[in-house]
């Protein structure tokens, strides 16, 4: 079965979570199927070859899972992007808007070095605020963006626009599956 069909078959939609009107895409089911998770990692590494990045950053929460798998397979270092107050050492912080509120993202000040090439990984691209904040953090630390990989994209929310506004190209933004409105 092709990867898109396999993902559509297992990703759950949870209505009105975390608040009314939000149709939450639950990707935890992907990680319950080791063969499917392996296919996702392989596809992301096909789109972003190991030679194109030095470090993998995973966005809280499910992006930490996927990012760790990609870092392990590529034998590259991993660092987390976390919500405020979750990291134990000195951090850089960037605020952003998301589809149901506002938040901030942090990373350790020494997570990446000057000129390192970073691949960011997250489970879902919705409005693009979280990923754009992660991109700004990487650049503030002096590193370069290789790209951003997502399991799922909600195409109807135009989450690519903030990433393109941050200077990323369409080729640097990859999603394994794109859902249309009502899917």
Whether 140 is a known active-site residue: answer: no
- List beta partners, residue 51: none
As given in the structure block, the two tokens for residue 169 are: 């190209």
Out of 47, 76, 99, 144, the active site residue is: 99
Dump strand ranges (E) for the chain: 12-15, 23-26, 55-59, 78-81, 91-98, 101-108, 117-125, 144-154, 173-179
Whether 99 is a known active-site residue: answer: yes
Out of 39, 60, 62, 160, the active site residue is: 62
CB contact at 8 A, 151 and 10:
no
DSSP 82: B
Interatomic CA distance for residues 15 and 24, integer angstroms: 6
Interatomic CA distance for residues 59 and 137, integer angstroms: 12
| Active site members | 62, 99
């Amino acid at each position: 079965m092709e990867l898109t069909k396999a993902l559509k078959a297992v990703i759950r939609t949870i209505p009105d979570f975390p608040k009314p009107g939000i149709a939450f895409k639950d990707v935890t089911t992907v990680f319950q199927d080791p063969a499917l998770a392996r296919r996702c990692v392989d596809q992301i590494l096909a789109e972003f070859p190991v030679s194109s990045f030095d470090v993998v950053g995973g966005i809280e929460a499910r992006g930490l899972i996927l990012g760790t798998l990609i870092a392990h397979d590529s034998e590259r270092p991993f660092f987390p992007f976390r919500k405020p107050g979750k990291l134990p050492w000195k951090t850089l912080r960037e605020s952003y808007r998301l589809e149901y509120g506002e938040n901030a993202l942090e990373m350790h000040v020494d997570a990446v070095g000057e000129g390192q090439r970073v691949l960011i990984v997250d489970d879902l691209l919705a409005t693009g605020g979280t990923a754009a904040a992660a991109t700004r953090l990487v650049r503030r630390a002096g590193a370069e963006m290789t790209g951003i990989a997502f399991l799922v994209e909600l195409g109807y929310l135009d989450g690519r626009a903030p990433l393109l506004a941050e200077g990323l190209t369409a080729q640097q933004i990859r999603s394994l599956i794109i859902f249309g409105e009502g899917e």
